[in-house]
Chains A and B, each alone.
Chain A
């Protein structure tokens, strides 16, 4: 049920969100520091379970859009995301009753908490991606019929814009991306305005709790000198994601990265230490496909995360380097992310992959 987040929760949440970021989504650090500041200023982060929402409540999704690398340099004022929310409320002529994360992986795990704290609104425990994805239309809200627009976007000057593209969520993404670049490469958005009833129908529930649990599990495993990967697998059994497994262990022997269309695309090769064979990871900001000798082991939207083999710290695509010793960890996604409609929007084909979708737990068997 409803609960409040503490400083200590934030560290666990950041670790869990980095894990759910599957290599992308950006370092939650700056977001975490901003939320810590808000808590130190006496603000509260109250978390509502989706079941606690009234059907006619207005809920708005909140996020950073753009390059997380830019955020590490152009640190926000902390008011941008609230400004976007206020602009959308003005446009709609109605005040929000709660905010909801767009994306539970990476930096965007933190931005809605900042908005909740500063605007004194509850944040809904759930999100639209269940991990990290690169584009705005890749959300279960949209998959199940909620339009992304009208969307409000804001920068550190308090300058805002409204993107209204009807039900065409790809156009929302396209226009908002252009505005993001003009706003300096990172901007803050309020989008997918929806009712409490729509949240209950379209959101992936309790992903904030999921990130917290995974982060806490890693911390406690370290403290108790327990194998962190075994601990993760056990913890996942109690969540809607259910199944986690170590897909591969080895050393990174090649990383090839290039930018096209604003995405970091490329692949990494991991040479097995305990086993024979080489794993190939294809990424486009996030990790999308893991194969061993051309055999698919895991594929998007299932989660493929690389963790430091010793410390179980999640490794991002941008920090991945030759020589790192990693374990590749796979997490299965809940049914709401695996329907035909969901796979149309964020399944393998949506990323130009030719390999068919297969649930990772079925491949494992």
Chain B
């Protein structure tokens, strides 16, 4: 048996599964302290389906703790960035173009050292130990507790980053160290930014991870704990302590992966309707399509692997009112999680999208008699408006002219009409309200290679094969069952304007977690 938990800003959702079947589900409020909300969710699960804590084989958690800590600038560790690349790169030192507010929140400092590599693997300049030690000593004097290390072309050769990490571990124990080649991909500034973000979250990560472990201890569960990452794969709790940044987009990813699992469709558009927004993404081979452009988080440019998600301000709690020109307006303002108090069907005084769905007979929620008086034309107009809004986003996400299945999940999925233009069918799987927790429970273990390879004429297949094997080996090393590992993405980008056929190759492999369930 497994437990999947999704900790959102408002709700904590949980599911208990066995052999791929959902045994029980729970929805509770997220609490300020991490432990209580999780404990409550596990208690609720246990009330619905008795289980022996010893039978739980794995617990998977998706959480927004870390991204929220960054956005709210709460509990961030004083962090320094040390970059190896001199004499290159000094034109744009670390933390350049960061919002001042965030630099202050992390008491950010930046240092440039000699080192780094050229695209072809030669070093730019030699390691200068005295220079590195001086940088770290200065950082420590200024109260820095976490260090983010980057090096030019470290995705090709991480020697400088590793050497710096060893030096810090041996001579400055107690400092947190984050290495850029383990966090981001090609693109120095974006990778470095992600590494600094990771660095400033290390203390929050310690706190949250310990609280999660405590919550499981309280419930008597001794099973391994995993957290879900941006790309829909899992990492273990020790990894999370070191790489909290890898959880940033796990929310939408989990709900899309959950939708794929619940519906049995792995090539589809997923419409996730919450209280305030509708998030629409595209699943390809069961994984979310990634955004092609760089993503800004809290005003910082990064190159995280983020799912390509479009949002529109329509949700179950969206306010519905006349638009002044004869039609109805739905959202973007919403009563949010207060829908169960403020919506008409719950005895409240606000006309919401949920009331419209109930009045139209789409759903049986609350007290339908409280919306029986609504004007039929008004209901029809508002319903059409909701359908148009969702329709428009679905259409923008589609990648081919051929109709695709649409899977509707989330608490507000009753708003999705049964037919949508461009949809081969609209699916509303069971347990749709907790798809995100199911996505967490069903997540896979992944491994990725992203590097510049020299591709001599006639060797392309051999080089790709090597990259594939490395990705598979990484997934297996991370805990995937070898018999289930598959290559889920391959991308080749030749480096333009240079002879020599240097090609950047990205390969991602993923497989089921190697535990029996």
Contact = CB atoms under 8 A, between A and B. Distances in A.
A37 B89 contact: no
B268 to A, nearest CB: 14
Given A74-B119, A251-B399, A66 B498 contact: yes
B29 interface: no
Nearest to A118: B91
Interface string A179-215: 0010011000000000000000000000000000000
B389 to A, nearest CB: 16
B177 to A, nearest CB: 21
A78 B118 contact: no
Interface stretch (B1-9, B63-71, B181-189, B208-216): B181-189
Interface string A318-331: 11011111000000
User: Chain A, interface size: which category?
Assistant: 35 or more
Given A74-B153, A323-B400, A34 B91 contact: yes
Interface of A: 24, 30, 33-34, 36-37, 66-70, 72-79, 134, 156-158, 177, 181, 184-185, 251, 253, 257-264, 271, 273, 285, 310, 313, 317-319, 321-325
A75 B189 contact: yes
B91 A77 contact: yes
A137 to B, nearest CB: 15
Q: Enumerate the 6 nearest inter-chain pairs by beta-carbon distance, A residue then B residue, closest first.
A: A78-B91, A323-B399, A259-B494, A262-B499, A156-B88, A264-B496
Nearest to A257: B494
B496 A181 contact: no
12 contacts: A66-B498, A70-B119, A72-B189, A74-B88, A75-B85, A75-B88, A75-B91, A181-B498, A259-B496, A262-B499, A263-B496, A263-B497
Interface in B86-121: 87-92, 96-97, 116, 118-120
Nearest to A76: B91
Contacts of B188: 72-75
B494 A264 contact: yes
B96 A33 contact: yes
B328 interface: no
A283 to B, nearest CB: 10
B218 interface: no
B496 A77 contact: no
Given A257-B494, A285-B496, A79 B91 contact: yes
Interface of B: 85, 87-92, 96-97, 116, 118-120, 122, 124, 152-153, 186-189, 289, 292-293, 396, 399-401, 455, 491-504
B292 A319 contact: yes
Contacts of B293: 313, 319
Contacts of B455: 259
Nearest to A64: B497
A156 B400 CA distance: 46
B497 A324 contact: no
Given A75-B92, A262-B498, 13 more contacts: A30-B92, A30-B189, A33-B96, A34-B92, A74-B85, A74-B89, A184-B119, A184-B122, A185-B495, A257-B493, A262-B500, A285-B496, A321-B292
Name B's interface SS.
Answer: loop
Contacts of B499: 177, 181, 261-262
A36 B189 CA distance: 15
A121 B119 CA distance: 33
Contacts of A156: 87-89, 124
Contacts of A184: 88, 118-120, 122, 124
Given A75-B85, A184-B124, A37 B91 contact: yes
A324 B498 contact: no
Nearest to B308: A323
A103 B44 CA distance: 65
Contact of A74 (B118, B399, B501): B118
Nearest to A309: B396
Nearest to A70: B119
A37 B189 CA distance: 15
A66 B96 CA distance: 24
Contact of A77 (B89, B96, B292, B497): B89
A158 B90 CA distance: 13
A322 B490 CA distance: 12
B289 A259 contact: no
B123 to A, nearest CB: 11
A182 to B, nearest CB: 10
Contact of A69 (B97, B289, B396, B504): B504
Contacts of B399: 251, 322-323, 325
Given A73-B152, A74-B153, A184-B124, A251 B500 contact: no
Contacts of B292: 319, 321, 324
Contacts of B89: 74-77, 156
B498 A33 contact: no
A321 B282 CA distance: 15
Contact of B498 (A185, A318, A325): A185
A74 B496 contact: no
A184 B289 CA distance: 34
B327 to A, nearest CB: 18
A273 B498 contact: no
B494 A258 contact: yes
A42 to B, nearest CB: 16
A342 to B, nearest CB: 22
Contact of B152 (A37, A74, A317): A74
